[in-house]
Structure 1
Amino acid sequence: MTIRTNNTNSDEPSVDEPRQKSQSTWGIVAGASLISTGLAAYEIVPASVTPVIRDSLHIGPTIAGFLVGIMFGTAVIASLPAGAILDRTDSRTAMLFAVLTLFVAGTWGWVAGHHGDYRSVIASRALGGVAYVVVWNAGIDIVSRAANSENRATAVGIFTASGPIGFALGQGTGPLIAERFGWPAIFLAFTGLTFVGLVVFWPASRGFGTSRGEAPSIQEFGAVLRNRSVWSIGLLGFLGYALYLFVNSWGSSYLTVELGFSLAISGLLVALFPAIGVVSRISSGLISDRVFGGRRQPIVLGSFGVAAPLVLVFTRFRSLPLLVALLLLTGFAVQLTLGLSFTYVREVVDPRVAATAVAFQTSIGLAGAFLAPIAGGVIVDVAGFDTAFVLAGILALCGIVVAWRAPEPARL
């Protein structure tokens, strides 16, 4: 009689385990990306209907600017504490609470908008900023943990592409939503997308949320802030985001004021700059993983190396086809760094404090995003667009120097 051996309790991995892990990884990427897309759309959507909001609340352009800017400011302040908490808790649960927080913030903003209470609208947006930074940091942390080292940058690059997708969604649909349901509805409109993302993310991420081992100590947390490699990569993020927001903020004004294009044409042209980020942020990881065998430094070096001359000569051209080409190439080059830097920074620290390193990168990068439009406006007022773009090009040249000296992380 033949005796069959039951191997269900064997320690050897099942042949289906790699396939199941791969399916879980891409389920995590898809779900987290949908959540982040909804939050990015919520972040930018007031910019699409600013004139309507100003007329309704009787506010000026500077105050109206806080409707978008408050989220960047909140993220800069909240990012590092959020990362420290994520290293000591479950990133999966943090994503759940962030989605619920966005729903509260969106409902609060909707009610406050109907009552014409500007201060409450701003406060609701600050709460939404906390939800945004938690989703961004937790999403990068859990996607990085779920992916293999061979495709980690690719997976994170896909996740970071949710930013420009969300911006395009918010800018494109905001006026339609405001016209149909009233402008306060823009604060609720994208919460549904985050819930859909959560439905995809939650089952796929089971078992991936909690860090292995004990929570990092205060000394280990401090070591991240003293790590020169972390600061180098953080500076690359600061410079990359500064260039990204400078062109986004002042490119359209330059085309309208200096070249005489209509606002509609200028807006359409400058929209190409962030839109190409969907391709750029995903391809940064693919190029790094597949072409350079996981090396990160060549990508950021090439990013600034291409962007610097393009920004420096941007105001020298007036041909529409050339301007389109410049915006596409510059947007692609700048966002190579934005897509890769979050994978890059977590690979130069101990895995136990990887979320803290990502949070630091987020905070430093968004500081550049917060400061660049303000500094750009001052320079434009004082010295004009030509000088502003030259100084932005010099920032890109500084990026080349920093990228040249950037460390190459060991493969995990």
Structure 2
Amino acid sequence: MPTRTTGTQSEDTDIDESPQRSQSTWGLVAGASLISTGLAAYEIVPASVTPLIRDSLQIGPTVAGFLVGVMFGTAVITSLPAGAVLDRTNTRNAMAFAVIILFLAGVWGWMAGRNGDYRAVIASRAVGGVAYVVVWNAGIDIVSRSVEPSRRATAVGVFTASGPVGFALGQGMGPLVAAWFGWPAIFLAFNGIALVGLVLFWPTSRGLGHSSGDTPTLAEFRDVLRNKNVWLVGGLGFLGYSLYLFVNSWGASYLTQEVGLSLGLSGVLVAVFPAIGILARVSSGPLSDRLFSGRRQPIVFGSFFIAAPLVAGFTYLQSVTVLITMLLVAGFAIQLTLGLSFTYVRELVDPRVAATAVAFQTSVGLAGAFIAPIAGGAVVDIAGFDTAFLVAGGLAVLGVTLAWWAPEPAKQQVG
């Protein structure tokens, strides 16, 4: 049976490389990134005002934590079905619809918060989680198809950098919004940013709502889930997000309890770990596209190879300067994979089911983000911080092994 090349070759003819198209493309990337930034801020912002929410709603810390966790949990469950739908519909329209739904969810959460209705706040956040995962998957799909293959990883890297930017925005601005307008206003403030992004995104994304070719069949969807290389790259995403959330969740506690630093200083030090991700996710594409001539495997291999000893040896470092250096280098290395993996996985399958592959990557990655803080806490309770960071380092070593066997998308074919 004749073969059909995936990813790069089949999409080359869809790209108009004129200066006007190039300007429109980067306008699209900017608009999509602004949408995602607003949604990421909405996702994390309750964490910045947890004491206010607990006092207002009379809830405990675990229940309050669910205000953030519910969006991760919802995204894990709904990401793959959302991707399957996106491959069968107009992703441009779906993205716009999701932004509007999320804004309405924000209005719902604001009203529920003012009324002291915790269950309604949680329900609004669950709806927001579905909208968020649609935006994330659709955004990666449209951004990937808006540029020629030689710049695809660069464009997607810029888009995925919206995650840490949004987290920083939500953490930094949430207390100010709460002080000025009351804490329920946090559910509205950042969704407004997403609406502004939609205004920029909409006119620059004309003609990019549908993949080229016929509607994918159910058999082609099944092929995505049977593709061992998709599972391999999904595993790399799971491990990368696990490491990312583990250090984010338990790094400050270690510095406070074991090193003796103040909670405020510990938080500032650990903040460099996600913050460096803005640079890492943006640079992962150029490193792959230009330095490695479009190859993806060397980036993810190097990412885990560098991170493994740094994470495993974290608790053996006592100098604050060395700890900051370690957090910067490890944070950069780990987030290189987080930025590149979404480009990587969609290039392993037929472009017509690329959104399904991206959705699968999102689902398994967020599963790692959901599990790692909980599992890490259990290991800390049972065996202490030294063991917990050694186990995390072991996950990075497993990532090195998987990355060694990872394929290059340009060499893959489907029959």
Tell me, yes or no, whether TM beats 0.5: yes
Which residue does 1:293 correspond to in 2?
293
TM-score by length of 1: 0.95
1:392 deviates by: 0.2
Q: Which amino acid aligns with 1:60?
A: G
Q: Which amino acid aligns with 2:349?
A: V
Q: What are the within-5 Å matches in structure 2 for residues 252-263 of structure 1?
A: 252-263=252-263
Q: What are the within-5 Å matches in structure 2 for residues 7-406 of structure 1?
A: 18-406=18-406
Please say if residues 234 and 365 of structure 1, whose CA atoms lie closer than 8 Å, have aligned partners that are also in contact: yes
Q: Taking every aligned residue pair, what percent have the same amino acid on both sides?
A: 73
* Local SS of the residue matching 2:216: coil
1:261 deviates by: 1.3
C-alpha distance in 2, partners of 1:335/1:192? 27
1:258 deviates by: 1.0
* Local SS of the residue matching 2:116: coil
Q: CA RMSD in A?
A: 1.2
* Local SS of the residue matching 1:59: coil
Q: Which amino acid aligns with 2:229?
A: S
* Local SS of the residue matching 2:409: coil
C-alpha distance in 2, partners of 1:262/1:35? 36
Please say if residues 177 and 186 of structure 1, whose CA atoms lie closer than 8 Å, have aligned partners that are also in contact: yes
C-alpha distance in 2, partners of 1:50/1:250? 18
1:234 deviates by: 0.1
C-alpha distance in 2, partners of 1:234/1:324? 30
CA deviation vs aligned residue, 1:286-316 (integer Å, no higher than 9, x gap): 0000000000000000000000000011001
CA deviation vs aligned residue, 1:232-285 (integer Å, no higher than 9, x gap): 000000000000000011111111111111111111111110000000001111
Listed as ranges, the gaps of 5+ residues in structure 2 are 1-12
C-alpha distance in 2, partners of 1:17/1:33? 21
1:214 deviates by: 1.7
C-alpha distance in 2, partners of 1:403/1:17? 33
* Local SS of the residue matching 2:189: coil
C-alpha distance in 1, partners of 2:159/2:142? 11
C-alpha distance in 2, partners of 1:374/1:342? 25
* Local SS of the residue matching 1:116: coil
* Local SS of the residue matching 1:68: helix
CA deviation vs aligned residue, 1:167-204 (integer Å, no higher than 9, x gap): 00000000111111111000001111111100110000
1:133 deviates by: 0.2
Greater C-alpha Rg: 1
Listed as ranges, the gaps of 5+ residues in structure 1 are 1-12
Please say if residues 91 and 142 of structure 1, whose CA atoms lie closer than 8 Å, have aligned partners that are also in contact: yes
C-alpha distance in 2, partners of 1:263/1:215? 54
* Local SS of the residue matching 1:343: helix
* Local SS of the residue matching 1:150: helix
TM-score by length of 2: 0.95
1:411 deviates by: 7.0
1:391 deviates by: 0.2
> Taking structure 1 as reference, are residues 17 and 237 closer, same or farther at Cα in structure 2, changes over 3 Å only?
closer
1:356 deviates by: 0.3
C-alpha distance in 2, partners of 1:17/1:177? 42
Which residue does 1:10 correspond to in 2?
none
> Taking structure 1 as reference, are residues 17 and 249 closer, same or farther at Cα in structure 2, changes over 3 Å only?
closer
C-alpha distance in 1, partners of 2:122/2:377? 23
1:51 deviates by: 1.0
* Local SS of the residue matching 1:258: helix
C-alpha distance in 1, partners of 2:181/2:251? 31
C-alpha distance in 2, partners of 1:161/1:397? 25
1:17 deviates by: 5.9
C-alpha distance in 2, partners of 1:241/1:197? 26
* Local SS of the residue matching 1:295: coil
* Local SS of the residue matching 1:190: helix
> Taking structure 1 as reference, are residues 17 and 402 closer, same or farther at Cα in structure 2, changes over 3 Å only?
closer
C-alpha distance in 1, partners of 2:84/2:269? 40
Please say if residues 347 and 411 of structure 1, whose CA atoms lie closer than 8 Å, have aligned partners that are also in contact: no
Number of aligned positions between the proteins: 398
Please say if residues 33 and 197 of structure 1, whose CA atoms lie closer than 8 Å, have aligned partners that are also in contact: yes
Q: Which amino acid aligns with 2:246?
A: F
Q: Which amino acid aligns with 2:85?
A: I
C-alpha distance in 2, partners of 1:296/1:103? 36
C-alpha distance in 2, partners of 1:281/1:323? 22
C-alpha distance in 2, partners of 1:35/1:165? 12
Q: Which amino acid aligns with 1:378?
A: A
C-alpha distance in 1, partners of 2:310/2:32? 33
